[in-house]
Each structure stands twice: as structure tokens, then as C-alpha cells.
Amino acid sequence: MNDKRGKHIAIYGKGGIGKSTTTSNISAALAEAGYRVIQVGCDPKSDSTTILRGGNDLPTVLDTLREQSKVRIEDISAVGFGGVLCIEAGGPVPGVGCAGRGINAAVELLHDLKVFEEHKPDFVLYDVLGDVVCGGFAVPIRDGIAERAFVVTSSDFMAVFAANNLFKAINKYAPSGGARLGGVIANSIQANYSRPLIDDFASHAGVPVVGYVPRSMVVAQSELYGKTVIEAYPDSEQAGVYRKLASCIDANSESVIPRPLNGPELKKWARTWGDRIFQAESGVVQHMESI
Ligand code: ADP
Ligand code: MG
């Protein structure tokens, strides 16, 4: 895209894994550091930017396009914490149509309205649902819209499974100008095996882990106030974790093409971890770090 400004980054992951929470806290931390940021929610759930805007709703691009023939940037955006420009792509009427349509519509509209030229962002973060990587959801990582993607996962197998599917999509599009992978963001770290399990999966797929975000009550509390942790609890340890993650994404522009595991490899890998966790839980192995 020739009118592209700033670094365009897509954050993918399974539904409910913490994409919007993590993305919003990264946006807030980048804004706090003085950057101009746009966050584009690319999930039919349309709640990506809620905690940047005091918990309030925002008309989605798709709904607004349905209702108005002429759409202005003011109609589909709101300025949130730290001046972050918030946009929600939206989705089709439930049960009808492709869930990826909102993303296509939003990306096209932002270019038509010359939002990037006028807003001059340093960062544009796309928060994208990644349970299924159908054509619509692949839009931000295809055709050079985002240059880098990050994948959020926890140590739950379904999250790892979704991450591996995202690696497959990135692997497919990267050679023809699509996004490369910046790395994995490990979220909801709580059990002692969470970190080694995610590290091991990432190393099998040949990708770096760029940050570890603990499962924290502070996140839940901030969400109830309709805020990011950066806004609600700026002096907390968790805010420090998000700031570190944001500065890592800012400083490091390295990226890779992942090597996804195939079906049997992923199953074998999962079984090995099942055994390791069983051994640790049953006392055969005392410290997770040792395995
Ligand atoms: P997604 O955007 O991937 O669907 P969300 O960001 O909406 O997921 O997060 C789902 C739920 O998990 C939210 O209630 C959020 O507050 C919670 N959550 C996410 N990350 C954490 C964390 N590190 N610690 C505690 N709760 C978390
Ligand atoms: Mg979300």
C-alpha cells in the first residue's frame, strides 16, 4: 500500500485468549511513550478498543456503511486513552455472511478516507480473531497490509492449536509479500508448566517468544472499570509487563517465517507434554524447570 504510514502490526490468536486486552495495553503503553497509535478491532465481537474508551460502545465500520452512503472518519472512530484512535471493523448480521467482511470493508475505508496520511500514525495495531484463518481474517496478513504479526497464546492446547494454524497462514502468505511473524506473546502465565510449554512449542516452530504476561487479577479489575491496566493501575507490576512488551515490539523489527507442526507432529508434541505435566504433578519430577 503506497499510502501506508507507520508500523502496521497484526495481533492474532484464538477467541478469548486475551488479544484485545493485550493489544489495548500495548496501544496504551505506546501512546504513553509518545507515539501516535491507531487500533483497529478486526473481530466481529467489536469490543477490541472498549477498555481504551471507558467501556463505551463504538459504531462499527460495517454497521455505519450499511446505514449511510457517505461515511466520515468521525462516524467510525473515537479517540481513546492517550489519544489512541479507535476503530471497530464489525461483523455481519449473526448467522449471515462472512465474518471477515468487516475487515475488508474497514481496511478499504481507511485507505479511501486517507486516514493514515492525515493521522500520521507511528503504529497501527490490528486485533484479529484467529480461530479460523478464512480469507477474510487473513486480510491483515495478506498483501502487505501488516508487515508483522504476533500471535497470542496461553499454554492451553486449543490456543496452541490455533497458534499453529496461524503459523500455517503466515507461512503461506509471507513469501508473496504477506506479513512475517514477529513472535509469540505468552499470555495468562499461571501454572508452573505454562512458560516451558509455550517456549518448547515456539522453539519447535522456529519462532521467538517476545513476552510473558502473567494471569493477573489487576487485568480483571481494570476491565471492570472499562480501562487498560496502563490507565487504571499505572504503577502495578502488570503495567510494567505491558510496557516492556510494547517497547520490545517497538525496538525489535526482526521477523521470521514460522515452521508450523503438521498434524501428527503436533499430536506427538502434545502427548509428550501431557506426560511431563503428569510426572510433575505426581511428584516424579519435582521442578518444572528441570524438564
Ligand atoms: P480476545 O480478545 O482474545 O477474545 P480478551 O482480551 O477479550 O480476549 O480477553 C478475554 C478475557 O480474559 C477478558 O475478560 C480479559 O480480561 C481476560 N484476560 C486476558 N488476559 C488476561 C491476563 N493476563 N490476566 C487475567 N485476565 C486476562
Ligand atoms: Mg477481542
Span 135-188, pLDDT tens digits:
778 888 987 889 999 999 999 999 999 999 999 999 999 999 999 999 999 999
Please give the residue that has the higher pLDDT: either 58 or 291: 58
If asked whether residues 199 and 274 sit together in one domain, one would say no
Mean pLDDT of the chain: 92
Beta strands in the chain (DSSP E): 7-13, 37-42, 77-79, 85-88, 123-129, 148-153, 180-189, 209-214
Please tell me the number of the ligand nearest to residue 186's CA. Answer: 1
Identify any residues that bridge with 33 across adjacent strands, giving them in sequence order: none
For 76, the grid coordinates are: 467510525
The structural domain count of the chain equals: 2
Per-residue confidence (pLDDT) for residue 105, from 0 to 100: 87
The CA-CA-CA angle for residues 84, 257, 254, to 5°, reads: 50
Task: Tell me: do 57 and 42 sit in the same domain.
Answer: yes
Q: Are 189 and 195 in contact (CB under 8 A)?
A: yes
DSSP string, 231-257: HH-TTSHHHHHHHHHHHHHHH----B-
Q: Which of 4, 45, 172, 244 is catalytic?
A: 45
Please tell me whether residues 74 and 111 are part of one structural domain.
yes
Mark whether 242 and 271 lie in a shared domain: no
84-97 pLDDT, tens digit per residue, is 999 999 987 777 77
Side-by-side strand order, sheet with 7-13: 77-79, 85-88, 37-42, 123-129, 7-13, 148-153, 180-189, 209-214
* Residue 21 CB less than 6 A away from ligand 1: yes
Give the lowest-confidence range in 29-43, 91-105, 202-216, 231-245: 91-105
Distance CA 51, CA 198 (A): 27
Under a CB-based contact definition with an 8 Å cutoff, are residues 40 and 87 in contact? yes
Is 275 catalytic? The answer is: no
Q: Which atom of ligand 1 is nearest to the CA of 14?
A: 3
Same domain, 200 and 281: no
- The yes-or-no answer on residue 19 being catalytic is yes
Domain that holds residue 267: 263-291
194 and 283 share one domain: no
pTM for the predicted model, two decimal places: 0.95
Residues 279, 138: one domain? Answer: no
Q: In this structure, which amino acid lies at residue 273?
A: W
Residue nearest to atom 19 of ligand 1 (CA): 18
Identify whether residues 120 and 214 lie together within a single domain: yes
pLDDT of 289 over the 70 cut: no
Instruction: Please work out whether the CB of residue 219 comes within 6 Å of at least one atom of ligand 1.
Output: yes
Q: Number of H helices and number of E strands within the chain?
A: 12, 8
Ligand 1 nearest atom to the CA of residue 238, by list position: 23
Spot the catalytic one: 7, 14, 43, 127: 14
Domain identity same for 112 and 250 = yes
* Residue 224 alpha carbon to ligand 2 centre in Å: 15
Q: Which residue type, as a one-letter code, is found at position 24? A: S
Question: Does residue 18 line the site of ligand 1, with CB under 6 A?
Answer: yes
- Please indicate, yes or no, whether residues 169 and 55 belong to a single structural domain of this protein: yes
CATH (domain of 51)? 3.40.50.300
Give the span between the Cα atoms of 92 and 269, in whole angstroms. 37
Q: pLDDT over 70 for what percent of the chain?
A: 95
pLDDT, mean of residues 37-48: 94
Neighbouring CB atoms inside 10 A of 69's CB total 5
Q: Does any ligand 1 atom lie closer than 6 A to the CB of residue 13?
A: yes
pLDDT in the model for residue 1: 45
Same domain, 211 and 291: no
Catalytic residue among 7, 127, 131, 227: 131
Ligand 1 binding pocket includes 131 (Cβ within 6 Å): no
Would residue 267 show up in a list of annotated catalytic residues for this protein?
no
Same domain, 234 and 210: yes
